């Protein structure tokens, strides 16, 4: 017997057991489903039809309605496949037709939901996520209706709007704008705008907004739009800019009245970001590609930082990244928690030789450290952080033996250096060639209590500023390797007991 018929089976007395379930249990079941599936449960029983409409979060995504072969076709076209122009035009036409049909289905579904919800004026919605195609024929009308209802009548606090690019549309396709008549009376606290959305005049209700995420903003966006976000949103506490483009290459942030505590800038087109004044900034994350540069002014509360260096060009870029790194260190004296990552080409970046530039740093993670870098980087950072208590290093495991860079020569100043606060050293990707780094750390760190050396593993991130070192049990230590490490620690390490874990 088919499952659907088996589910609808009633008792001998005609009782519908699914309808007899308490509302709390039905709500618990549908809350674990995506919005489309939750709404489909209305076919199971009469009482189930209204339960999904009481969910605190709704997701209406056009990608949930697209057929599986659509994404495969998009991937082929992005690779400029097939090469045959006639066949390519046929595929483009099929993609455009698929998008129009899917948007029609999507719009009908949203309209049906709104019509069924008209009587529920007392309902409350916390989060609404919308994703749809924007075309010349105003397929965003259903999105306007949904946003007006959610923001105006249902009191939504978290709104996400993502507009996907449509096939066959030229650059003059109008970007989607949020409906103007609902934002001024909203209870909105968090707003996320994605591709093909325009940033509205938000200052009229900016006193309510505490979190703003902008993704894939077009290159035509004026730089003053971004700068006004910092100045006009006096209650904004979290700002994320991801893959955002701009008509100008320099972004100047001068907002002495800003309440922004968290700023994330990832893969944006800005070449220079100047943080002149952000008095409340606590958490900062930057992804620096090639020639991008940070200029620090006043960030007196900065404590948690995630900095990703991505080199994609030749060695000339390396010099600029080195200068950028030195500038970054000089501008962050209050920092206590730092993550440094390296992606892209494995270019050598020479660290600063200055001292006491990170006087309050307690925790440091150097992740994705190029395998051909040796003692210089971790040692240089250790010398910059006299209060450091936790040092974690991750070197990705490589199947091929890398070409090594030359180590710098030791100096008397280096030999005299002592670090009196470091308690824990954890290193993932430890190999025999890293024994010099280990020897240096145990020699200069007088308070060392715990050493963990793992041959393979990864860094598990909980957000951008919290991490955990996770090792794999695929690599074992030989007795000879263990003996070498233990003898070295006993000879050069502190006199007190040091816990050691080898994995």
Instruction: Summarize pLDDT for 96-141 with one digit per residue, the tens.
Output: 888 888 888 888 888 878 877 765 556 788 999 999 887 655 556 8
Please count the structural domains in the chain: 1
Nearest 10 degrees: CA dihedral of 323, 324, 330, 334? -160
Q: What are phi and psi of 123, to 5 degrees?
A: -75, 155
Q: 385 lies in a domain?
A: yes
Q: Domain for residue 284, yes or no?
A: yes
Q: Which domain holds residue 200?
A: 134-397+415-502
Residue 114 forms part of a structural domain: no
Distance separating alpha carbons of residues 338 and 336, to the nearest angstrom: 7
Selection from 175, 122, 118, 165 nearest residue 146 by Cα: 118
- Specify if 120 maps to a domain: no
111 within some domain: no
Look at strands 457-461 and 467-471 and give their pairing. antiparallel
CA–CA distances in Å: residue 352 to residues 326, 377, 437, 472 = 6, 9, 18, 33
Helix 68-78 with 85-117: angle, nearest 10 deg = 140
Q: Is residue 138 part of a domain?
A: yes
Helices (H), 352-398: 376-384
Q: For the domain that residue 304 is a member of, what is the CATH number?
A: 3.80.10
Question: Could you tell me where the DSSP H helices lie in 422-478?
Answer: 435-444
Would you say residue 57 lies in a domain? no
**CA–CA separation, 156 vs 176, rounded Å?**
20
116 is a domain residue: no
The pLDDT value recorded for residue 398 is 66
Mark the ranges of the chain whose per-residue pLDDT is less than 70.
1-19, 26-27, 30-53, 118-122, 135-140, 168-173, 181-185, 201-207, 290-291, 311-331, 344-356, 373-376, 398-415, 474-475
Is 0.85 topped by the overall pTM? no
CA distances from 23 to 41, 126, 393 (A): 14, 19, 51
What angle do the packed helices 435-444 and 376-384 form, to 10 degrees? 20
Distance between alpha carbon 374 and the CA centroid of its chain, in Å? 29
């Amino acid at each position: 017997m088919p499952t659907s018929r088996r589910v609808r089976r009633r008792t001998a007395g005609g009782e519908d057991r699914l309808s007899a379930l308490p509302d709390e249990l039905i709500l618990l079941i549908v809350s674990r489903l995506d919005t489309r599936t939750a709404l489909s449960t209305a076919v199971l029983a009469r009482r189930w039809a209204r339960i999904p409409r009481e969910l605190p979060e709704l997701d209406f995504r056009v990608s949930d309605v697209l057929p599986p072969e659509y994404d495969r076709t998009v991937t082929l076209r992005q690779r400029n496949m097939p090469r045959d122009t006639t066949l390519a035009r046929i595929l483009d036409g099929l993609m455009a037709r698929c998008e129009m049909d899917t948007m029609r289905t999507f719009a009908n579904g949203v309209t049906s939901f709104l019509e069924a919800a008209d009587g529920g004026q007392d309902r409350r919605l916390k989060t609404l996520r919308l994703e749809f195609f924007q075309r010349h024929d105003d397929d965003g009308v259903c999105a306007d209706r949904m946003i007006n209802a959610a923001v105006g009548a249902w009191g939504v606090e978290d709104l996400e709007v993502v507009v996907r690019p449509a096939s066959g549309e030229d650059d003059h396709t109008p970007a989607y704008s949020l409906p103007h008549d609902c934002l001024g009376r909203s209870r909105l606290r968090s707003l996320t705008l994605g591709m093909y959305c325009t940033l509205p005049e938000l200052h009229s209700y900016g006193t309510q907004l505490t979190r703003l995420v902008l993704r894939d903003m077009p290159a035509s966006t004026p730089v003053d739009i971004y700068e006004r976000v910092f100045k006009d949103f006096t209650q904004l506490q979290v700002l994320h800019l991801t893959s955002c483009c701009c008509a100008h290459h320099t972004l100047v942030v001068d907002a002495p009245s800003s309440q922004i505590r968290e700023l994330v800038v990832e893969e944006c087109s800005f070449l220079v970001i100047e943080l002149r004044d952000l008095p409340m900034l606590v958490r900062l994350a930057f992804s620096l590609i090639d020639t991008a540069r940070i200029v620090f002014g006043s960030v007196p509360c900065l404590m948690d930082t995630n900095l990703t260096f991505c080199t994609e060009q030749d060695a000339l870029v390396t010099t600029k990244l080195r200068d950028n790194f030195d500038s970054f260190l000089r501008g962050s004296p209050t920092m206590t928690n730092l993550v440094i990552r390296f992606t892209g080409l494995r270019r050598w970046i020479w660290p600063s030789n200055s001292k006491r530039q990170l006087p309050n740093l307690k925790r440091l993670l150097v992740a994705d450290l190029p395998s051909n870098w040796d003692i210089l980087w971790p040692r240089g950072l250790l010398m910059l952080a006299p209060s450091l208590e936790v040092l974690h290093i991750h070197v990705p495991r490589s199947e091929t033996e890398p070409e090594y860079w030359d180590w710098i020569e030791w100096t008397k100043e280096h030999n005299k250096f002592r670090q009196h606060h470091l308690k824990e050293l954890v290193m993932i990707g430890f190999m025999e060639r890293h024994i010099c780094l280990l020897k240096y750390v145990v020699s200069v760190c007088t308070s060392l209590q715990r050493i963990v050396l793992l041959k393979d593993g990864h860094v598990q991130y909980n957000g951008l500023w919290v991490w955990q070192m996770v090792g794999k049990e695929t690599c074992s230590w030989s007795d000879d390797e263990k003996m070498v490490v233990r003898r070295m620690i006993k000879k050069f390490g502190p006199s007190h007991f040091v816990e050691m874990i080898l994995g």
